[in-house]
Amino acid sequence: MLLAWLAILVVFGMFAPKVESALAGAGWQDSTSASVQARQIIRRDFAGLGSSALRAVIVDRAQPIADDPGAQAVVARVEEMLRSSKDVSTVLAPRPGSSISANGRTAVVTAGAAAGTNQMVAAAGDLAGPLSRLGTRNVTVTLTGDSALWADFNSANHSAMMRSEMLSWPVTLAILVVAFGSLVAAGLPLMLTMVGLVVAAGALVIANHLAPVSIWALNFALMFALALGIDYALFLVVRFRAALERRGAQPGDRQASAEAVAETLATAGKAVAFSALTVLASLASILVVPSPAFRSMALGIMLSVLAVLAATLTVPRTISEHLADLETSSPGLSGGW
């Protein structure tokens, strides 16, 4: 069983590191709406000069851009960089009365979208930094528009998620040690969580090749993998300890351990399975909502629930004998039951 899980983790683990860059950035719309259809028509027939277009705002703080050769050079470099992107269909230079401000110090270079909204969000994320570095002491370049907004949002979301995980995992481990009274038992939910996360992340990357999956799926997969990993492990550990205690298990008593595992899976295991199936059934209804973001959230949760459930009903069985030995013979490490 451990070898089988190792193979599963290797397969999905090859895709998991790509999850942050592979998942889509937008998706907060009704895919069947007239506005989405209009956006597709604009991209096809009007050079993508719609809501997903990229707009580089160039500001000269000293004088009008037309009077500053340095600012004009910046505008030219911006246009060249945008034209070099495969996701840009056309580039519109700044024009007086349309994309140049009344004082002449602000100009907008517009780049039409040659790809879908999700790809344009990724393109905005790739271009924002290089475009801003084209600026000088007096001239600034800032990428804006819907695609840039979602790219900034995803970047902020990712940073906040990583920071929250760095803060929450040590606290979670400390709470688990207190709740379970054992380093070994406290490690079980974290192990189940990691299994669920790796499998869910890899599966999301694979699913993204079939249909766009929002980055929000990762947030919810992480949240539910941790919550259910702790919840299900708590059920199993408490039941397993009670079963060992009733049998008066001694160190190395493999027979008592096997019987305790059977009792645990026949009772708490069934409760865990029913709980997971209930969660999956309730989330399945969200898959019919015609919004990629909502469907992605449901998909991320469902994948993490499936992975944690499978690990909960199989992995503890393979380590039960070692857990029993530690629970009965190493109070300093495990805290006994």
Report the C-alpha gap between 39 and 108 in whole angstroms.
21
The CATH class that applies to domain 52-144 reads: alpha beta
What is the end-to-end Cα distance of the chain in Å, rounded?
A: 26
Neighbouring C-beta atoms of residue 63, cutoff 10 Å: 14
Predicted pLDDT of residue 317: 63
Per-residue confidence (pLDDT) for residue 319, from 0 to 100: 57
Domain 2-28+159-334 top-level CATH class:
mainly alpha
How would you write the pLDDT of the chain (337 residues) with one tens digit per residue? 878 888 999 999 999 888 877 776 667 778 888 988 998 899 899 999 999 999 999 999 999 999 999 999 999 999 999 999 999 999 999 999 899 999 999 999 999 999 988 889 989 999 999 999 999 999 999 999 999 998 898 888 778 877 877 788 788 888 888 877 777 777 778 788 888 889 999 999 998 888 888 888 888 888 888 888 888 888 888 888 888 888 887 766 778 878 888 888 889 989 999 999 999 999 999 988 888 888 888 999 999 999 999 988 887 666 554 554 444 444 443 444 3
Q: Looking at 17-68, list the stretches that DSSP marks H as alpha helix, in order from N- to C-terminal side.
A: 19-22, 34-45
Tell me how far apart the alpha carbons of residues 75 and 93 are, in angstroms, rounded to a whole number: 8
Q: E strands along the chain, which residues? A: 54-60, 88-92, 106-113, 139-144
Judge whether 266 and 236 are in contact, CB under 8 Å.
Answer: no
Q: Which residues contact 96 (CB under 8 A, 6 or more apart)?
A: none
What residues does 59 pair with on adjacent strands? 106, 140
pLDDT at 251: 64
Q: What pLDDT is stored for residue 323 in this prediction?
A: 52
> Where in the sequence of the chain do the CATH 1.20.1640.10 domains occur?
2-28+159-334
pTM of the model: 0.76
The structure tokens listed for 301 are 């949760």
Helix (H, G, I), strand (E, B) or coil at 337: coil
Considering the chain, tell me which residue range(s) the CATH 3.30.70.1430 domain(s) occupy: 52-144
| Residues in Cβ contact with 36 at an 8 Å cutoff, skipping those fewer than 6 apart | 29, 30
Q: Residue 240, SS3? A: helix
pLDDT value at position 86?
95
Q: Is the dihedral of CA 115, 126, 303, 310 positive or negative?
A: positive
Whole-number pLDDT of residue 335: 41
SS (H, E, C) 247-265: CCCCCCCHHHHHHHHHHHH
For residue 262, what are the CA distances in angstroms to 69, 320, 335? 80, 11, 23
Give 144-147's long-range contacts (Cβ < 8 A, gap of 24+): 144/55, 144/56, 144/57, 145/51, 145/52, 145/53, 145/54, 145/55, 146/26, 146/51, 146/52, 146/117, 147/26, 147/52, 147/53, 147/54, 147/113, 147/117, 147/120, 147/121, 147/123
